[in-house]
Structure 1
Amino acid sequence: MDILLMPVILLPSTPSSRNCSIHNDCYASTYSRIFSLWNPGYSQISLNYFHPTLVAMDLFLNSKVVGWVLVTTALYCIYDVVYRIYFSPVASFPGPRLAALTFAYEFYYDIVKPGQYIWKIQALHEQYGPIVRINPYEIHINDPEFYDALFFNDRAANKWYWSTKIQLQPVVQERIDTLISRLIDHRGTSAVIQAENAFAAMANDIVMEYCFGRHEHRVEAENFDPSFSTTSRAASHSLTLWKFFHPVLTLVMSLPESELCRLGDGIAGAPTMKHAFFQQIDAIRSGRDVAHSESSYATLFHEILSSKLPEHEKTTLRLTDEAELIVGAGTETTRWTLSIAVFHLLDNPTVLRTLKEELRAVDPECQGKTPLPTLQSLPFLSAIINESLRLSYGTTQRLQRVFPFPVVFERSKGGKVWTMPAGTAISVSIPDLHHNKDIFPDSCSFRPGRWIEDPALIKYQLAFSKGSRRCLGMNLVTAEIYTCLAAVFAKFGSAPLRGDKDIGILKLSDTTIDDVKLWGDCFLPIQKPGSNGVRITVGV
C-alpha cells in the first residue's frame, strides 16, 4: 500500500491544496497520530500532502487491521448464531434450525427456487403445527380463527374508502363500455385476446383517473397496452429480491432512469415504477399537472396535497409509495380476479347459464348498464365474485404485523398456548385460509354455490385483508368487477350457451385450468412457467 501512496506523496503541491491546508491539517493532526501506531512512516508525511481517504485505504489493507476485521467478524457471527438459536425472544418457537439461523433459508425458496417459499411454509406447518418460526425474526401462523385477532377492526372512518364507488361510477361504466366495443371489434376475427391485458387496461385507466384525474387510454391502445401491468408484475418479482438486499435498493433508486432501464425489468421493475410515480406526484406538487381541474369529482393526490395533513405525511417520496400501492393493487387485483372469473364461466356452462338467467331478470334488454346497487343485490353474481376473489387471493405475500405488546395464540382446536413477545413479526398468508379444507372443502374447485349455501363464509374472505389493513380501494375494485362481469355476460355467451340477445360468443383459446392456478408467490400470484394466461377469441 505504501507503494500505491508514493506517487501521490511525490506530487508537487498546488495552490488549491495550499489554500486547503487548514482543512488538511485538521485531518492530518488526527489521523497521523492514529496511523503512526500502525505505520510509523506516516509521521514523516508532510501535512500538505496528507489525504485521509488514502490513509483510510492503507489502514483497511494493512495486515494488522485486516486481521482485526476478520477476528471481529468471526466473533460477531458466532455471537449471532448463539443468540438466534438460544437467546432470541422467539428461540423457543418450533421450526427448522436453519430458518432460525439465517435468511439464506428463505432466500433459497424465494429466489433460487423462485416463489416457492409459500409451499415450503405449508410443509413446515404440516411438520411443526399451526405456529412456525420461518426466519430469524418472524413467526408464521396458520389458523383460520387467528386472522381476526391479527387484523382487528380499528379502521377510522375514511371518506375515500366509503365514497369512491359513488363518485367514479360514470368513469367505471364508460371504460367498460369502451372495453366491450373493443371486444366487438374483434368479433368474427381470428385474433386472440389476452384477457388479462384487456382487464388490466380497463382497471388501470379507472384507478389512474381516481388518483390523478387522467388516464392513458390503455383500453383503446393496440393490444390493450400491457406496459403498466407488465412492469407491475416485474416489480413484484424484483421486490422479492430487494427485500433481501434493501441497502442495495436504496443505491439503485439513486440511479438515473436511463441507467435503471438498462438493468432490465427483473431487477429494475420496482425502482422504475417508483421513478415514474415520483415524477407524477412532483408534477402535481409544482402545479405542472392540472388534469384534476377538468374533473367533476375530487381526485386522490390533488386532494391530499391540498389538505391540512402534516407536511411530513405529504412528502413526494411518501406519496410516491402510496401511488405505487394504490395504482398497482387497483390494476393487478382487478386484472387477475376478472381473469379467474371469465375462465371459470367459459369453462363451466352450467354456472354461466345460472348467471345469465339472473342478469336477464334485471336487464331484460341486455344493455349491460344495470345500476351497481342492483347488481350487488344479485346472490349468484355476488357468489361468483366471492369465489373469484377467493381463488385470486389479492396478494399471496405474507401479511405481517408487529405489535408493541405481547400477542397470545391458542390453537382453535385446542393445544398449547403461545405468547409472542412485543416487537415480534407475526404473519399469516391468504392462500392458507382460502384453501383451508375445513372451511372450503374441495378448495381448488370453482364452486360459487358455497357462498349461497353458507353466507357465514364471508368471514373468511380475506382478498382485501381486514380491519385497519383493509384495502382502501376495495369498494372501487368490487364496483369494477360487478359492473364488468354483468356487462360482458349480458351481451356475450359462450359456444355451448348463447342467448337470443347475445351479440357474440367468447371462447377460451389454448387455456387450461393450470393457467389460472397458483404456482408460486412473488407478492402477486405467479402462474406456472410458460403460461400464456387466459386467452379468448370473440365469435359471431
Structure 2
Amino acid sequence: MFFAAAGASIVYGLALAVYRLCLCPVAGFPGPKLAALSFWYEFYYDVVCGGRYWVKINELHDRYGPIIRINPYELHVRDPDFYEVLYGGPGQGRRDKWSWSVGMFSNSQSAFGTASHDLHRLRRGALNPFFGKQAIARSMEPVIRELVESMCARFEGMRVSAGGERKKGDEGLDVMLPYAALTTDVITRYAFDTSYGCVEDAGWRHEWPRAMVESTKICHVNKQFPWLIPVMRAVPEGVIGLLSPSVLLLIKFQKDLARQIGTLMNETTNTEPGSNDKDSSSAERPTIFHELIRSPDLPPAEKTLQRLVDEGQTMIAAGQETTSFLLKTVTYHVLANPAIHARLRAELVDVNVAHDGVGGVMGASVAQLERLPYLRAVVQEGHRFAHGVAGRMQRISPDAPLWYGDWVIPAGTPVSMTAMLQHRDPGKFPDPDRFDPERWLVLPSSSSSSSSSNTTISSRSRRRKEEVAALEKYLVPFGKGTRSCLGVNLATAEIYLTLAAVFGSSGRFEMELDGETTARDAEVVRDYFIPHGHADSKGVRVVFK
C-alpha cells in the first residue's frame, strides 16, 4: 500500500511538472523554471526572505524582459504603459481577481477580497455613496479637522526650548504613532461611530494600529496555506501567541470587529428606518455599517455577520495603514530637505494668512488645499515614494485574451504589476530615488514684451502641462479601473489637512528630525501587501521646538 501510494505520488509529480513546463497555457512565457514548477520559489522570497519577492521579480525582468512568468499560473509585467490595459480602463472589459491571492488576509467576503467582477460591483456599489468627494467633504472633513487639531495640540505640548531642554539620550517621537492614531480614529469613527481614542491616549493606543500592521506579515503564508487562519481560530489564544503573535493580533482584531458589528446589527434591527428615537445610536449617528445593515440594495446573504466583519477588517486596515505610511514618508523628506521645507511652509503660511481666524490654515478646505501647487506636488511625490499598496495586484481578463506586444495572454490568466516597480521606473521618473516635487509642477507662463517670446513660452508651458498630465497617468498609489481604491477621497482629505496643519502651523510648534533618523528609516524594503521598512528601524523620529 505504501509503495503504491509513493509510486502514484511520483507519477503525479512528474506529470504535473511536464504539464506546467510544457503544456499549460503560460508554458511559453519566459522566466525561471523553478518558478514555473512550484509555488515554493515564491514562498522562499516572500516568506523565508520576508517580503522580498518584488526585488527578485525586478531582477528577473532585467534578465528575461518586460513580461515574465513568476509562478505556475501568474505572469508579471514591468511596463508602465500596460497598466491601464491590465487594470481595466475605459473599454477594457471585465476584470476578475485571482482567488488564490485574495485570500491572503482571510477576508474574502469583503469587496476588496471578492474575485468575481460582478459580485464586486454589487458590494462596491453599496459602499460608493459613502466615499464620494461630496460625502467626505460633508461628513468627514469636520471630523478630520477635529482630530488633526487634537494631534497638533499634543505636538504643541511636546515642545522643547531652543536651549535644548530635552534630556540627553531622549529619543524623538516616531511620527507613525500619531499618524496611525489619527487615521485609525478617523476610519473607526466613520465606520462605527466608535473611535478607539488613539489620538487622545498617552501612548497613542498604538496596539490597535500595530495589530493591523503586524498582521500583514502573515499575508504570504496565508496565500500558500489558506487553512491557517480558520484552524488557528479554534486554538486557544495563549497557544496562538506562542506560535504566531501576528496571527493572534489579527484574530483578536477580527473578534473585536465581530463584537462591534454584532452590536450595530442588534441596534439597527431594533430601530425602524427613519426613527427619531434619540436613544438609538443608529438613528442619531448613522454610520457606514448602520447603512449597510439596512440597505435595500443588498440581499440578506450580503448582510451576514462574517461578511460585514470581513468588510470592516478591510476598511479599517486600508483606512489606517497606507495613509499613515504616506504621512510618515512625506514628513521625513520634507524635514530632510530644507529647501523643500521652506518652500512648502511659505506656501502654507500664505494660506494661513488668507484663512486667519479660527483654525488658521485649518480654515482652508480640502478643495482649496488641493489647488496649492507646491503642496500638491509634495503629496504627489509622497505617493510615488510611499506607493500605496506595495504588493503586486493580479487581474484576470475572463472573457478575452490580452495582448502585450507580440505576446498573447490567454483569457483567464492571472497577470500582475507592482506599483513599487512602476514608481521607480527611470524611463518615466528620471532620478527615481530623489524626492523631487518639481517633477509635478507646471512651468509658469512668463510675461515678456516680445510677442514671439510670449508665444514660445506659452507653448512651452502648455507642453509642460501635458507632460505633467502624462506623468500622473503612471502614478498609481490608488490603483486604476473599477477596482481602484475605494477610500481615495477620504485619504486625500486626511493627507492635505494633516500636512497643512503640521507644516503650516505658525508659532505653535516647529518640527524637526532627531539627530539619528536617516533616509533608511523612511525606506520601503519589504512587501507585506502594504509597504514595510527595515525591521531594525526605530522609525522617523521628530522633536518639536
Matched, 1:161 2:167: no
Aligned in 2, Cα 1:125/1:475: closer, same or farther, shift over 3 Å?
A: same
Find the partner of 1:368 among 341, 361, 365. Answer: 361
Tell me, yes or no, if structure 1 residue 266 matches structure 2 residue 246. yes
Judged with a 3 Å threshold, the aligned counterparts in structure 2 of structure 1 residues 165 and 72 are, in CA distance, closer, same or farther, namely: farther
CA contact (8 A) 2:29 2:69 kept: yes
Query: Are 1:194 and 1:536, in contact at CA under 8 Å, matched by a contact in 2?
Result: yes
SS of the residue 2:76 aligns to: strand
CA distance in 2, matches of 1:258, 1:128: 47
Q: Identify the residue that residue 507 of structure 1 maps to in structure 2.
A: 512
Contact 2:21 2:27 in 1 (8 A): yes
Change (3 A) 1:219 1:295: farther
CA shift, 1:406, in A, is: 3.4
Paired position in structure 2 for 1:333: 322
If asked which structure has higher relative contact order (CA below 8 Å, sep 6+), I would say 2
- Residue number among 296, 313, 316 corresponding to 2:305 in the alignment: 316
Deviation at 1:180, TM superposition (A): 0.4
Specify the alignment match of 2:379 in structure 1: 385
CA distance 1:288–1:276, shift in 2 (3 Å): farther
**Separation in structure 2 between the aligned mates of residue 403 and residue 312 of structure 1, nearest angstrom:** 27
Q: Is residue 459 of structure 1 aligned with residue 452 of structure 2?
A: no
TM-score with structure 2 length normalisation?
Answer: 0.81
Q: What is the deviation of 1:256?
A: 5.0
1: distance between equivalents of 2:39 and 2:250? Answer: 22
8 Å CA contact retained: 1:238, 1:269: no
Give 1:515 shift.
0.9
Matched, 1:307 2:295: yes
- Unpaired segments ≥5 residues, structure 2: 91-120, 272-278, 443-466
Aligned mates of 1:504, 1:143 — CA distance in 2: 44
Query: Who is 1:33 aligned against?
Result: none
Q: Give 1:232 shift.
A: 1.3
**Mapped pair 1:394 → 2:394:** no
Write the mapping of 1:470-489 to structure 2, written as runs, cut at 5 A: 470-489=484-503
CA distance in 1 between partners of 2:481 and 2:211 (Å): 30
Matched to 1:307, the amino acid is S
- Aligned residue for 1:198? 178
- Partner deviation per Cα, 1:76-117 (whole Å, 9 max, x = no partner): 111111111111111111100000001111111111111111
Give the Å deviation of 1:219: 0.6
Find the structure with the greater CA-based Rg. Answer: 1
Match of 1:171 among 143, 147, 152: 143
Q: Structure 1 residues 261, 135: CA separation in 2 closer, same or farther (over 3 Å shift)?
A: same
Q: Is the 8 A contact 2:268 2:294 kept in 1?
A: no
* Structure 1 partner of 2:117: none
Contact 1:260/1:271 (8 A) holds in 2: no
With over 3 angstroms needed to count, the CA separation of the structure-2 counterparts of 1:272 and 1:420, relative to structure 1, is farther
Describe the SS at the equivalent of 2:473.
helix
Aligned length: 461
Q: Deviations over 1:453-502 (max 9, x none)?
A: 442122112101111111111100110010010011111xxxxxxxxx42
Checking the alignment, whether the CA contact within 8 Å between 2:390 and 2:528 is kept in structure 1 is yes
Instruction: State whether structure 2 residue 203 is matched by structure 1 residue 223.
Output: yes
CA contact (8 A) 2:400 2:410 kept: yes
Q: Which moved more, 1:217-226 or 1:186-195?
A: 186-195
Q: Is the 8 A contact 1:405 1:421 kept in 2?
A: no
Is 1:103 the equivalent of 2:103?
Answer: no
Letter in 2 for 1:399: M
Aligned ranges 1:423-438 → 2 under 5 Å: 423-438=412-427
CA distance in 1, matches of 2:280, 2:389: 30
Whole-Å Cα distance in 1 between the matches of residues 264 and 436 of structure 2? Answer: 46
- Say which is worse superposed, 114-123 or 515-524, in terms of deviation: 515-524
Q: TM-score, normalised by structure 1?
A: 0.81
Offset, 1:258 = 5.2
**Structure 2: distance between partners of 1:219 and 1:320:** 24
Q: 1:410 aligns with which of 404, 422, 425?
A: 404
TM-aligned CA distance change 1:244 to 1:159, over 3 Å: same
Q: CA deviation at 1:171?
A: 0.4
Q: Give, in angstroms, the shift of residue 535 of structure 1.
A: 0.5
The Cα shift of 1:294 comes to 7.2
Structure 2 SS opposite 1:140: strand
CA deviations 1:341-393 (Å, max 9, x no partner) are: 11111111111111122112222148231222211111111111111111101
CA drift at 1:67: 2.8
* Displacement of 1:149: 0.9
Tell me the amino acid that sits aligned with residue 140 of structure 1: H
Q: 1:103 to 1:269 in 2, by over 3 A?
A: farther
- Alignment deviations for residues 47-80 of structure 1 (CA, whole Å, 9 cap, x no partner): xxxxxxxxxxxxxxxxx2x333222222211111
3-state DSSP class of the match of 2:402? strand
Q: Against the structure 1 CA distance between its residues 298 and 149, is the aligned structure 2 distance closer, same or farther, given a 3 Å change threshold?
A: farther
The 8 Å contact of residues 235 and 273 in structure 1, kept in 2 or not, is answered as: no
Structure 2 residue identity aligned to 1:401: R
Check conservation: 1:292, 1:299, Cα contact below 8 A.
no
Displacement of 1:297 after TM fit?
Answer: 5.8
Name the SS for the 2:512 alignment partner: strand
Aligned-residue CA RMSD (Å):
2.1
Q: Which amino acid aligns with 2:468?
A: P
Alignment of 1:91-130 (within 5 A): 91-130=27-66
Q: Secondary structure at the match of 2:11?
A: helix
The one-letter amino acid paired with 1:455 is V
| Residue aligning to 2:72 | 136
Q: Do structure 1's residue 74 and structure 2's residue 40 form an aligned pair?
A: no
Question: Residue 409 of structure 1: CA displacement?
Answer: 2.8
Instruction: Choose from 155, 180, 183 the match for 1:183.
Output: 155
CA distance in 2, matches of 1:112, 1:199: 30
Match of 1:447 in 2: 436
Gaps of 5+ in 1: 1-63, 412-416, 492-500
